[in-house]
Chain A
């Protein structure tokens, strides 16, 4: 039964939307055909009054929205505004008054919004046609048409997915999808400090930002290359040091002879639980040139001069890696603990009979097994480190700043650079371009994980 409907569904999906629409139009009666123009018409003539009126109302709402609100923005989408701020003679007040010009930002934002609204409406329009056609078919077969109450009931059963997904989807569209599309589009504009709405307009510049980033603007391109290099170096080092050392800690705690395992684990977990902004800001205070660590080291007579933990390029990079170990080892410990216990014991037993040393066992048994099982986690962690905003921002703020970089410091990652460009410099177009680049890397790697882990393919296995 279910297999049959699934097959039918697949066949239907393969047909394509346009073909389906065409066939509906071909086979439809007058009511169905008119539904293509007047939404809800098919339902209305067949007695599904409430449903029909709702469709009709939604159509009216769209027209009202487009004409009353969206059109003024949509028609300027091509230029992102052509009328700047002006002084206009006001007859009534007999003075020149400033009229606000076009606001490129709002034009772009509301255009994106309107396009999404229209897309949503098209889905509704298709549903309206389907519903009209279904009603027509039912009527032809002499069956009872579903009443509005039936439809409501089906929203809790056959079409439960619709009722469940509508709200969450709207939230995601409003607060993630729409902003993301908006920011992607910004990468193709010249929205920077010199083009700040509402005073100034910005406009489309095609691929200029990408060209600048990849060589067109020597300073930016140079900065991008260096920052990207450090980002990757950081991600590799941070991921692997954390992974290996975290695993070593997990192995130490899991050791058969160790007592009070729960206590050791909790000690490390506590440092995860303390919010990162607290522990990292604390670290930055401790490691400050005049901070307690330097003061104590001087007092103990180990050093004469403060160690520039966070203000010298090489030292700062090393410090960040070490502090990241402090932050990251507990996570790895927590995550690998469970998996380590799953490694078949007999592997170790036979190895120890053969006289293998603990180090040998780690490299020949533990590490290969762990790498095999945790590759997805490792790549996720790698992506997480590429985007590791907190550690860098809270410790060094990207510093030490240098003039050879464009608005970046020696420890800046792409994401912290992006943040600085948007928040301090309002250089949105460049920031968006960097964001797209970061996205391409992260998404590429994440898709790799998704396919590697096969959790998408295996999801039915457990059920």
Chain B
């Protein structure tokens, strides 16, 4: 542990490998130029130069060239005397080279197309081989340089994963700002930027009344949150704290009922609601969400189980009723679980689209945002509404993301249950 504060020595064996890797990477860039099929061969030199000079082709190669040059330069300098700083600079250089390699690899075809070399399948194939080799070697160099510094090389993997995980979300954001309509575009960066998708969600309400749905959902979510939280706390407290004859029965029944797939009962719920004249109304949504939310009492119960019983016993001896114990002792010490319960109950109506679709059918006015957005992606609407769907999705995702980040700790405890107490 003490060594952590001291600068740790470089791993010399790896340091010596670095220049070799860098040199190999730089050499692999020449791979496409090594061999050219005979007939066009004579022409190649000119076209090869074209490749670098055409249109934006040279621009595409800039990061690659910079990365390679840096790596090579530093690699060579390491042959002399390596310091921590030079290896650190090498990490940056290799990282740059990796990015340049990816960029070049992705644009290789475009570049070759524009340079007029496309009829030569050989070159395009080998150009990519060169790029791949460069990319992989730069990655190897990056890993080796990190290891030489005694830094975890997993940074590379984590960064790659972070990109994969964030790209779809980034794409959602970008698409929500895209000016052109259409669902399937062969490019990622929009041709034009606009905020209109957001404004039109709220102004163009003839077919898809987004503001109305948003208010519907908000209303349902707030009431559901209040009702569910109250009910869940009642059940959790009772089953955790009170001892009464049918307690076991309740516990087992709750366990079994919660295991039935909800889909099975949806249709029946619809008919029940219809029979009492509540189908297609927001009240029915509140009832259904609260009714199914109650069964999520186990997490709160687990929390109550951990509050020392001596607390309530002392109060009971002092003559407090169980009602008072609940309000004065249990509730104040369970703020986190109240927040957790409330937030999960609040989120449910925002993310459910199945129950709503069964209950509301085609009653557009009473849709919630989730179902409304879902409808926007139906075949006949998707072309016109896709960008607006993205804007709407962003507006739903932002509050939920913020709320979720707040409760993630309890989420973990909830999922793992009492079995995995930390």
Q: Looking across the interface, which residue of chain A has its beta carbon closest to that of B273?
A: A175
Interface contact A435-B412, CB-CB below 8 Å: no
Name the B residues within 8 Å of A447 (CB-CB): 255
Q: Does A48 contact B (CB under 8 A)?
A: no
Encoded as 1 (CB less than 8 Å from any A CB) or 0, chain B from 349 to 369 comes to 011011000100000000000
At the interface, yes or no: A296 with Cβ under 8 Å from chain B? yes
CB distance from A344 to the nearest CB of B (A): 14
Query: Would you call A435 and B260 a contact (CB within 8 A)?
Result: yes
A285 and B386 form a contact (CB under 8 A): yes
Distance to closest chain B CB from A230 (angstroms): 17
Q: Chain B contacts of A267 at CB under 8 A?
A: 162, 165-166
Cβ-defined contact, A161 with B158, below 8 A: no
Given contacts A174-B291, A290-B184, contact A389 B272 (CB under 8 A): no
Contact A282 B235 (CB under 8 A): no
What CA separation (Å) do A389 and B351 show in the bound complex?
Answer: 14
Contact across chains for A264 and B185 when beta carbons are under 8 A apart: no
A391 at the interface (CB under 8 A from B): no
Given A419-B263, A459-B305, check contact A282 B168 (CB 8 Å).
Answer: yes
Contact in complex: A278, B154 (CB < 8 Å): no
- Chain B residues 345 to 399 lying within 8 A of chain A, measured CB to CB, are 350-351, 353-354, 358, 370, 373-374, 377, 386, 389-390, 393, 396-397
Interface size class of A (residues with CB under 8 A): 35 or more
CB B405 to nearest CB in A, in angstroms, measures 6
> B48 interface residue, CB < 8 Å from A?
no
* Complex contacts, A268 vs chain B, CB 8 Å: 162, 165
Please determine whether A252 and B267 come into contact, CB atoms closer than 8 angstroms. Answer: no
Bound: A167/B235 CA distance, A: 9
Contact of B411 among A13, A174, A334, A462 (CB under 8 A): A334
Known: A109-B271, A273-B397, A335-B416. A160 touches B323 (CB 8 A): yes
Considering the complex, give the chain B residue whose CB is closest to the CB of A191. Answer: B267
Contact A171 B231 (CB under 8 A): yes
Contact partner of A172 (CB less than 8 A), chosen from B164, B257, B266, B354, is: B257
Q: Which stretch of A32-40, A54-62, A438-446 is in the interface?
A: A438-446
Distance A157 CA – B326 CA, assembled complex (angstroms)? 10
- One of A91-99, A176-184, A200-208, A311-319 at the interface: A176-184
Tell me if A387 is interfacial: C-beta within 8 Å of chain B. yes
Give complex CA distance A452, B397 in Å. Answer: 37
**Interface locus among B36-44, B205-213, B242-250, B334-342:** B242-250
Q: Report which of A105, A110, A301, A335 forms a contact with B109, defined as CB distance below 8 A.
A: A301
Instruction: Please pick, from B158, B172, B235, B358, the residue contacting A278 in the complex, using a CB distance under 8 A.
Output: B172
Pairwise interchain contact B234-A168, C-beta atoms closer than 8 A: yes
Q: How far, in whole Å, are A332 and B155 apart by their CA atoms in the complex?
A: 19
Within 8 A of A (CB), among B18-33: none
Taking a contact as CB atoms under 8 Å apart, the answer to whether A182 and B397 are in contact is no
Contact partner of B261 among A258, A439, A463, CB < 8 A?
A: A439
- Is residue A212 within 8 Å, beta carbon to beta carbon, of the partner chain? no
Residues A301 and B397 in contact, CB atoms below 8 Å apart: no
Per-residue CB contact flags for chain A residues 290-306 toward chain B (1 = under 8 Å, else 0) read 11100110111100000
The answer for the CA separation of A274 and B399 in the assembled complex, in Å, is 9
Q: How far is the CA of A315 from the CA of B96 in the complex (A)?
A: 34
Q: Is the CB of B269 within 8 A of A432?
A: no
For the complex, give the distance between the alpha carbons of A268 and B150 in Å: 26
**Chain A residues within 8 Å of B261, by CB:** 387, 415, 418, 435, 438-439, 442
* Minimum CB–CB distance for A130 against chain B, Å: 12
Partner of B401, one of A177, A273, A281, A415: A273
- Tell whether A389 pairs with B110 under 8 Å between CB atoms, given A175-B269, A330-B165: no
Contacts of A167 in B (CB 8 A): 231, 234
Question: Between A and B, how many residue pairs show CB distances below 8 Å?
Answer: 300
Residues of A within 8 A of B265 (CB): 175-176, 179-180, 182-183
* 0 or 1 for each of B144-157: is its CB under 8 Å from A? (1 = yes): 00000011101101
With the chains together, A109 CA to B323 CA distance in Å? 37
Partner of B268, one of A109, A295, A373: A109
Taking the nearest CB of chain A, how far is it from the CB of B41, in angstroms?
22
With an 8 A cutoff between CB atoms, is B295 at the interface? yes
Closest to B184 in A: A290
In whole angstroms, what is the CA distance A435 to B260 when docked? 8
Given the interface contacts A258-B155, A285-B184, does A179 sit within 8 Å of B272 by beta carbon?
A: yes
Within the complex, what minimum Cβ distance (angstroms) separates A92 from chain B?
Answer: 29
The binding surface of chain A is classed by DSSP as helix
Q: Is the CB of B396 within 8 A of A275?
A: yes
B279 proximal to A (CB < 8 A):
no
Cβ-defined partner of B415 (8 Å) among A335, A423, A443:
A335
Nearest CB in chain B: distance from A377 CB, A: 5
Q: Which residue of A lies closest to B125 (CB)?
A: A301
Question: A106 to chain B: which residues have CB within 8 Å?
Answer: 271, 275
Nearest A residue (CB) for B250:
A165
B154 touches A252 (CB 8 A): yes
Q: Which of B105, B157, B373, B420 counts the most A-chain CB atoms under 10 A from its CB? A: B420
CB distance from B184 to the nearest CB of A (A): 4
Residues of A contacting B151 with CB < 8 Å? Answer: 257
Closest beta carbon of chain B to A119's beta carbon, Å: 13
B195 on the interface (CB 8 Å rule)? Answer: no
Chain B proximity of A65: nearest CB distance (Å): 14
Residues of A within 8 A of B58 (CB): none
In whole Å, how far is A304's beta carbon from the nearest beta carbon of chain B?
A: 11
Judged by a CB distance under 8 angstroms, whether A122 is at the interface is no
User: B268 touching A183 by the CB < 8 A rule?
Assistant: yes
Question: Would A278 and B373 count as touching, CB distance under 8 A?
Answer: yes
User: Are the C-beta atoms of A274 and B169 separated by less than 8 Å?
Assistant: yes
- Please report the C-alpha to C-alpha distance between residue A338 and residue B421 in the assembled complex, in whole angstroms: 9
| Binary A-proximity of B179-196 (CB < 8 A = 1, otherwise 0) | 000011111100000000
| In-complex Cβ contact of B267 among A271, A296, A422 (8 A) | A422
Report if B290 contacts A (CB, 8 A): yes
Alpha-carbon separation in the docked complex, A438 to B263 (Å): 11
Of B250, B295, B308, B417, which one neighbours A376 at CB under 8 angstroms? Answer: B417
Could you name 6 residue pairs across A and B whose Cβ atoms are closer than 8 Å?
Answer: A161-B244, A172-B257, A249-B158, A275-B350, A299-B109, A422-B263
Supply 11 further A-B pairs (C-beta < 8 A) apart from A270-B401, A273-B403, A447-B255.
A6-B243, A174-B287, A264-B162, A271-B165, A272-B408, A275-B400, A292-B185, A292-B188, A295-B186, A373-B419, A446-B259
Interface on B for A, CB 8 Å cutoff? Answer: 105-110, 124, 128, 150-152, 154-155, 157-158, 161-162, 164-166, 168-169, 171-172, 183-188, 231-232, 234-235, 237-238, 240, 242-245, 247, 250-251, 254-257, 259-261, 263-269, 271-272, 275, 287-288, 290-292, 294-295, 297, 302, 305-309, 321-323, 326, 350-351, 353-354, 358, 370, 373-374, 377, 386, 389-390, 393, 396-397, 400-401, 403-405, 408, 411-412, 415-420, 422
4 smallest beta-carbon distances between A and B, as pairs:
A175-B291, A301-B109, A295-B186, A179-B265
Interface positions of A (Cβ within 8 A of B): 6, 9, 13, 105-106, 109-110, 113, 153, 156-158, 160-161, 164-165, 167-168, 171-172, 174-180, 182-183, 249, 252-253, 255, 257-258, 264, 266-279, 281-283, 285-286, 288, 290-292, 295-296, 298-301, 326, 330-331, 334-335, 337-339, 341-342, 373-374, 376-377, 380, 387, 389, 415, 418-419, 422-423, 428, 431-432, 435, 438-439, 442-443, 446-447, 449-450, 452-456, 458-459, 462-463
